[in-house]
Amino acid sequence: MCRCLPVSPSGYYGWATHPPSARTQDNTRLVARMRDLHTQHDGVLRSPRIWEELRYAGEGCGRHRVAHLMRPAGLQGVPQRWCWRRKASGTRPGGVHNHLERDFQATSPNTKGASDITYVRTTEHWLYLCIGLDMYSGKVTSCWSKPC
């Protein structure tokens, strides 16, 4: 093989037996972390988002390095739509009725209420937060959160 390719035998054996460099070892460790993140998020994350998660976890790596390492590892995310498509305000799914009819003035407690859902990022994961509000007193009547 050394005669076919212009390589000396000592050069080949030096290449074959040398230990991996620190950069190669670091890349191997990063690819393992990226695989874990990719599977945790059901294969949805692309390189910018994986880079954000790695930086949030304290890894020192660049965005282009993450993209460069994802290609040969076979990690590919699902592209997201960039613009939010809103439905027209007058369309409502079938079977859903507006019981308040934009009359938010309550005459007695616990007769009218409103709720809203949001999500909050924590150090461990995202939390969905739902709050119920009494329209008469303006106080929170119910609240729950669930990790996603």
For 40-73, how does the pLDDT look when each residue is reduced to its tens digit (9 = 90+)? 888 888 888 899 999 998 888 899 999 999 999 9
Q: Which residues of the chain have pLDDT under 70?
A: 80-90, 92, 148
Q: What angle do CA 89, 126, 48 make, to 5 degrees?
A: 90
What's this model's pTM, rounded to 2 decimal places?
A: 0.48
Longest dimension (CA), the chain: 96
pLDDT at 2: 80
What pLDDT is stored for residue 144 in this prediction? Answer: 78
Of 107, 125, 128, the residue nearest 117 (C-alpha): 128
Which ranges constitute the DSSP H helices of the chain?
A: 9-17, 22-40, 47-56, 63-73
Write the CB contacts of 15 (distance below 8 Å, at least 6 apart in sequence). Answer: none
